[in-house]
Amino acid sequence: MRHFIDTQDFTKAELLSLLELTGLLKAADLQRALPPLLAGASLGMIFEEPSTRTRISFEVAMTRLGGHALYLKPGEIHLGVRESLKDTARVISRMVDAIEARTLKHATVTDLARYATVPVINGLTDYNHPTQVLCDVFTMLEHRPAGKPLEDLRVTFIGDATNVCSSLMMICTQMGLHFTHCAPERYQAPEAWRAIAQANSAVSGGSLTLTDDPVAAVAEADFVYTDLWWWVGQEAEIPERTAAFMPRYQVNDALLAHAPAHAKFMHCLPASRGVEVTDAVMDGPRSIIYDQSENRLHAEKAILVAFIGPHLKPRSPELSQWHAGRIADFLKHHPLAEPAPAAPSQKV
């Protein structure tokens, strides 16, 4: 059973095939011609934190593919409380065809995958956000300079070493792109992440650069990406984080003036407008943030089709008709059956 927990679990060829599938499904969906590839399938969506994009994109993707999604909001089910994670994973697996989970701790999603008997999809943890970055690379392919190969693209992430930064660093270096993380030294990617990204680059031909100089970091960038400077639980650090990042690491027009004219701006959202990025950049001509958000929907469809599809039994209209007849016969005679209403009398 394969899960979608970390892009590191996949080869470059497998990731490219997911990107290609995303393109096929997007083209079909935009023409309202998407085949019901997941007809009758169900996705359990567990959220330990709120979500706009992840929740909506997965639910709409399931609906458009002919399936159904259940939103299990924070606190709605037993998840390691009053019931073991193993029991929860096993029980949910008996009722749905896949589980999407946004969990506070990365270990929770890996434990779900260990015990589940259906595919588990990571919808963000404190370590990574693989569904987001699959969509991000797809968006880069759509917006890259004409004719520029994927492997020549340069991506600069400015800001805190967030879970999105981690995943973007991994997928870019895995696929041969050139990735720069720019932040004050104490907020740069930790050594463990760098080791993975450097090992990826050694195989793919990509590269990893770490710098505290934002002007140099954007100088050759095709894509400039940022994310929040603090997350839930880091509120006590807001003053020191603001002092460390503002104003030097804010993505604003003055900084982007040092980037190539074609460079695009990306943000996974939600954004703190006026903090890590200005309104002028968010709403400006370089911004591709809403294309990026929309592409979550198309990338989720590819992940769902690739991971659920192979486990669904083929549907047989003949078999379905045979069962329908058998059940209808039973229902005519079972103990709770009500007598058929008398035929209306005919007036003469």
| Residues in contact with ligand CP by the rule CB under 6 A | 51-54, 124, 132, 268-270
Residue pair 268/136 in contact by the 8 Å Cβ criterion: yes
Smaller CB separation from ligand CP, 269 or 312: 269
Is residue 132 part of the annotated active site? The answer reads yes
Q: CB-hemisphere CA count at 13 Å for 209?
A: 20
What is the residue-wise DSSP string for 269-309? Answer: S---BTTTB-HHHHTSTTB-HHHHHHHHHHHHHHHHHHHHG
Alpha carbon distance 136, 165 (integer Å): 12
Tokens at 213, concatenated: 């100089």
Smaller CB separation from ligand CP, 122 or 207: 122
Residues 6 or more apart from 161 whose CB is under 8 A from it? 181, 183, 187, 188, 189, 190, 193
Question: Which position among 111, 132, 174, 182 bears the catalytic label?
Answer: 132
Tokens at 338, concatenated: 């009500």
| Share of the chain residues as helix, strand and coil, in percent rounded to the nearest 5 | 45, 15, 40
Is residue 102 part of the annotated active site? The answer reads yes
Residue pair 36/61 in contact by the 8 Å Cβ criterion: no
Smaller CB separation from ligand CP, 52 or 117: 52
Smaller CB separation from ligand CP, 52 or 209: 52
Least distance to ligand CP from the beta carbon of 116, Å? 21
Least distance to ligand CP from the beta carbon of 129, Å? 6
Residues 6 or more apart from 181 whose CB is under 8 A from it? 157, 161, 165, 169, 188, 189, 208, 209, 210, 211
Least distance to ligand CP from the beta carbon of 132, Å? 5
The SS3 of residue 122 is strand
The SS3 of residue 156 is strand
CA distances from 330 to 47, 140, 189, 324 (A): 41, 57, 64, 10
Question: Which position among 227, 267, 292, 298 bears the catalytic label?
Answer: 227
Least distance to ligand CP from the beta carbon of 102, Å? 7
Least distance to ligand CP from the beta carbon of 137, Å? 15
Smaller CB separation from ligand CP, 26 or 53: 53
Least distance to ligand CP from the beta carbon of 233, Å? 15
Question: Which position among 165, 172, 268, 298 bears the catalytic label?
Answer: 268
Closest among 100, 50, 106 to 73, alpha carbons compared: 50
Is residue 346 part of the annotated active site? The answer reads no
Smaller CB separation from ligand CP, 19 or 124: 124
Smaller CB separation from ligand CP, 171 or 268: 268
The SS3 of residue 324 is helix
Question: Which position among 3, 53, 102, 181 bears the catalytic label?
Answer: 102
Q: CB-hemisphere CA count at 13 Å for 233?
A: 4
Least distance to ligand CP from the beta carbon of 267, Å? 9
Q: Where in the sequence numbering do the catalytic residues fall?
A: 102, 129, 132, 227, 268, 296
